[in-house]
Amino acid sequence: MTAQRQRRNSAEVDWRPPAGKGDPIFGAGATTAEKTIANVVGLFGAAIVVAAGLLSGADWNLILYVVAAVIAFDVVGGIPANGLNSAKRDHHGPPSATADTAFGRVVRLPVVFTALHIHPIIVGTFYTPHLWWWGPIWYLVIVSATATVRAVPLHLERPTALGFCAIVTMAAVYLPAPDLWAWLPIMLALKLVLAHAVQEEPYRPVADPAGDSALTGR
């Protein structure tokens, strides 16, 4: 058996919700490796924004540094977290134990979940007040992009989301932005428009506790 075939046979598409405790952050049944990837990436994001602030001499007090670290951890770490196969199954498949909680129900509503991310408004308000328009504009762009992705036919969701990410990246680079925060709209688009809103097949390890037979549909 070739390495490629072994790799292909190591996982299967499985929409069945696993038994046991839900997990609105990583998705019910997330493995240790999946959680580790998301957490490590989030920690790197927090460390980078703090280091950038210190090295550039940003006029941030301790509270602003803490808020910046929390936002970076949530947004940057949220990209792989929302892209986890366990999360895809929870967000777009049959309800699991995660849906038994209020937050678990919210994450299954991509537009509502996106609307809760007021990060650009917080940044625009407290980090660069003279760019007050920056936060509301990017907030509306990201929410509208998520709504558009959820409105198009399923086979167009991924290319539509990628298109929005490409446009947001170009615009974010060239438009004025609060110092050290030009990355935020790009990361939000990746986290919410691409990683969260797009329905994709959830690959699970063959030894997944939910079972050992592949399901090819919802």
Residue 125: predicted pLDDT: 94
Estimate to the nearest angstrom the gap between the alpha carbon of 63 and the chain centroid: 25
DSSP string, 1-55: --HHHHHHTTEEE--PPPSS---TTT-TT--HHHHHHHHHHHHHHHHHHHHHHHH
State the amino acid at position 16 in one-letter form.
Answer: R
167-180 per-position pLDDT tens digit: 999 999 999 999 99
Mean pLDDT by 10 residues, the chain (218 residues): 66 90 94 97 98 97 98 98 96 92 94 98 93 95 98 98 98 96 98 98 74 37
Task: Give the side-chain half-sphere CA count within 13 A for 171.
Answer: 16
> What is the rounded distance in angstroms from the CA atom of residue 118 to the CA atom of residue 140?
10
Q: What is the largest CA-CA distance in the chain?
A: 62
pLDDT value of position 211: 41
Position 135 scores a pLDDT of 96
Residue labelled with tokens 């086979």: 155
pLDDT tens digits for range 139-153: 999 999 999 999 999
Query: What's the pTM?
Result: 0.90
The DSSP code sequence of 55-110 is HHT----HHHHHHHHHHHHHHHHHHHHHHSHHHHHHHHSS--GGGGSHHHHHTT-H
Whole-angstrom distance between the N-terminal and C-terminal Cα of the chain? 30
pLDDT at 214: 37
